[in-house]
Structure 1
Amino acid sequence: MAKTGKNERANASPRTATPYTSVEERRSKGKALRDKVPRAAHAGWKAPKDRRDPIELLVETNEGRMMDLVPIRFGRMSASPFAFYRGAAALMAADLGTTPSSGIRVQACGDAHLMNFGGFATPERNVIFDINDLDETLPAPWEWDLKRLVASVVIAARHLRLPDSDAARVATDIAREYRERMADYASMRALDVWYDKIDLQRYADRSVDPELLQRIRKRMADRIEAERRKSVPDHLYPKLVSHEGATPRIKDEPPLIFHPTGEQALGLESGYAEAIASYRESLPEQTRTLFDRFHFFDLAIKVVGVGSVGTMCAVALFMAADDDPLFLQVKEARPSVLEAYAGKSRYSNHGQRVVMGQRMMQAASDVFLGWTRGMNGRDYYVRQLRDMKMSAVIEDWDTGVLRQYGRMCAHALARAHARSGDAAMIHGYMGSGQTFDDAIGEFSVEYGDQNRSDYRAFVQAVREKRVDVIVEG
């Protein structure tokens, strides 16, 4: 049974000339990898004897965060096993590093749970479905992303109190969807793979009951329209901004939105001029022309997500005219949770790592996507704060909706992996039968048990006051 080794941990290096091989030859190479790592080797999960204490590992991930915000992070993680899973990417990365690997690498998401997929607007203003959070992206084994996705669906099913039998069936079905989509991409022309996208307003799935699909489409249409309204400046500007005299200023709503001190944000006195200039240089030339129309007015820290809480995340206000605002989200980019197990990034700036990974994996990226480094030495990536970005709201889902959403995530993940990896080799490894699907399904159910056990240990640590939490109203 092969595991990720030192040679496999080196990130992708600049391209060198390789001999041409046909699709069938690459499929055969992928199939041959089963001799070293059988597909059934991916089945099940058993914690190794030397597994790190999950609480200690989580506490370590707080290093460098704003410690006043860490109790909010842990409070959000304490809400449920599903919320805990969302904030514990570092735990699963450590576990995945001990699992079998086929030896095929792709640009991986690094945190491919189902809440990190969703809809957003392309520069052409179409709404597509894709991975929408790539803070942990890094070249790594493709199986890691798939296992994290399918395990998240099992944990979501338990969160929704769906029958265990439904959770197991949905997990296997999602692994099959990934495998079948990868088979499709293996047969497509390279440019067709690169141009492929999942259009939310035209999405179809023949495996789904037409009535259920119609219900899901109605949900999508309602969400798209709601987000379209929320994303327009006339909605966003008065919600986030007040005026102090003639100067617009982001509203403070502590502890979730607040203005940093000079110690928290070096560069405050200069209006972050150096960081903004560095960010501008990371943009394509045509986007710089657009960006130059806007002028910086204000920046405030904004607490977002679960795993990101405590890192330096902010919203910046730029104006081109009195009624023409631009809100940019500035997110700290720390080393990927995969680095210790897949190798260090080849980019010296982790903001650039995120941006390059995003451009590689997403069918379309935000026009203002770029990176910079602050005077505090921290790396950041930048994008629009809200551009019709939609994440799942799962609380009223039944098995049918969870299955359909999971299949869309698997489709998007296969498409993203096919852009950077060898779809034919991956397909050759997985094959055309159910062996691989069943293995991933079994792993996901058993890893769901591990997550539940880790969550209980976390709750016990909260009770024993080993970790502090703030539970938001």
Structure 2
Amino acid sequence: MSLRIAAAPPLIVPVEDLLRETGAAADEADIMRRILAEYRTTLLGDRHPLAEFRYRHMARKVVGVGSVGTRAWVILLTGRDDDDPLLQAKEAQESVLERFLEPSAHASHGERLVRGQRLMQASSDIFLGWQSIVWVDGRRRDFYLRQLQDGKGGLDPDVMTARGAALYARACGETLARAHSRSGDRVEIAGYLGSSSAFDDAITSFAEAYAEQNQRDFDALTAALDSGRLPRVPRTVEE
């Protein structure tokens, strides 16, 4: 059984369909091999496993809410068998802080993101790298690449006990604090936080206010849907 949004565009579009729509006669396999060869130079290690894979196909992927308006690609590589991981190339744009601060020191926004992740993460994806390309539309775009896999974990807050929620919040806080300590000045951060509970209290107040605002936004959206001010998008289920 598959679920789809009625009248919605396909979530995965093969690259040959995109090239056909633009009237481009480029050999997408040659383009992708060149991109992967250049991307290889941004990976860590002299003998990287990427050399054991070969390009097979790629497709444009519609991304989630957090990446609306950016381009994302799914890249199919094969090695020993057909169970090897896929790669994902996501477009990297300028930081929202850049308009207020100096431009990034890196020539590529993909490089900026990758170096930031490597700095903050204790262990990063070995396929994490970056690449900039000029596509068939003539525009230069920055990307960062990684394995396409769902390695995220999560807990259902609706079934959490108070003790479980506290442990989960502590784990998230420690992970975030460790990332900041790896990327910033640990001594300066510790001095800013001090020994009082002022920072803890401020973060708690902000979190509670944010949660209440989220509930108000959800209630307003629900009311707008119920009153007909906003249209409901129909869904259909295909067997």
TM-score, normalisation: structure 2: 0.75
Amino acid at match of 1:389: G
Answer yes or no: is the 8 Å Cα contact 2:157–2:165 preserved in 1.
no
Alignment of 1:308-347 (within 5 A): 308-323=67-82, 325-341=84-100, 343-347=102-106
What residue ranges of structure 2 are gaps of 5+ in the alignment? none
Query: Does residue 390 in structure 1 map to residue 152 in structure 2?
Result: yes
Counterpart secondary structure, 2:52: coil
SS in 2 for 1:325: coil
> What is residue 58 of structure 2 aligned with on the other side?
299
Q: CA RMSD in A?
A: 3.3
How far residue 302 of structure 1 moved from its aligned partner, in angstroms, is 3.0
Structure 1 residue corresponding to 2:112, chosen from 331, 353, 361: 353
Shift of 1:426: 1.5
Matched, 1:282 2:37: no
Which structure has more RCO (C-alpha within 8 Å, separation ≥ 6)?
Answer: 1
Residue 257 of structure 1: how far off its partner (Å)? 2.5
**1: CA distance, partners of 2:97 / 2:153:** 24
Q: State whether structure 2 residue 30 is matched by structure 1 residue 270.
A: yes
Superposition pairs of residues 234-273 of structure 1, within 5 angstroms: 255-260=10-15, 261-262=18-19, 263=22, 268=28, 270-273=30-33
Alpha-carbon deviations, 1:119-153, whole Å to 9, x = none? Answer: xxxxxxxxxxxxxxxxxxxxxxxxxxxxxxxxxxx
Kindly state the Cα deviation for residue 416 of structure 1 after the two structures are TM-superposed: 0.7
Measure, in 2, the Cα distance between the counterparts of 1:372 and 1:350: 9
Higher-strand-fraction structure: 2
What's the offset of the Cα at 1:417? 0.7
Structure 2 distance, partners of 1:470, 1:335, is 32
**Cα distance in structure 1, aligned partners of 2:27 and 2:217:** 40
1:370 is aligned to 129
1:414 aligns with 2:177: yes
Match runs of 1:64-79 below 5 Å: none
Equivalent residues of 2:39, 2:130 under 8 A apart: yes
Give the percent of matched residue pairs that are identical in Structure 1 and Structure 2: 41
- Corresponding letter in the other structure for 2:80: A
Distance 1:344 1:405, change over 3 A: farther
> How far does the alpha carbon of each residue in 1:184-219 deviate from its partner, in whole angstroms, 9 at most, with x for none?
xxxxxxxxxxxxxxxxxxxxxxxxxxxxxxxxxxxx
Which shows bigger deviation, 271-280 or 410-419? 271-280
Q: Which residue of 2 aligns with 1:433?
A: 196
Between Structure 1 and Structure 2, which shows a larger proportion of helix residues?
A: 1
Tell me, what secondary structure is at the counterpart of 1:321? coil
For 1:390, the aligned partner's letter is K
Q: Secondary structure at the match of 2:208?
A: helix
- The CA deviation at 1:433 is 2.0
Distance in 1, Cα, partners of 2:27 & 2:106: 24
Q: Deviations over 1:10-38 (max 9, x none)?
A: xxxxxxxxxxxxxxxxxxxxxxxxxxxxx
CA separation of 1:444 and 1:271: change in aligned 2, threshold 3 A = same
1:315 aligns to what SS in structure 2?
strand
**Contact 1:355–1:381 (CA<8 Å) still a contact in 2?**
yes
Q: Which runs of 5+ in 1 are unaligned?
A: 1-71, 73-253
Aligned residue pairs total 218
Query: Does the 8 A contact of 1:334 with 1:350 survive in 2?
Result: yes
Shift of 1:460: 7.8
Give the AA of the match of 1:308. S
Distance 1:347 1:304 in 2: 25
- For 2:223 and 2:46, locate their aligned partners in 1 and report how far apart those are by CA, in whole Å: 54
Give secondary structure in 1 for the equivalent of 2:10: coil
Shift, 1:378, TM fit: 1.4
- The answer (yes or no) to whether the contact 2:106–2:112 under 8 Å persists in 1 is yes
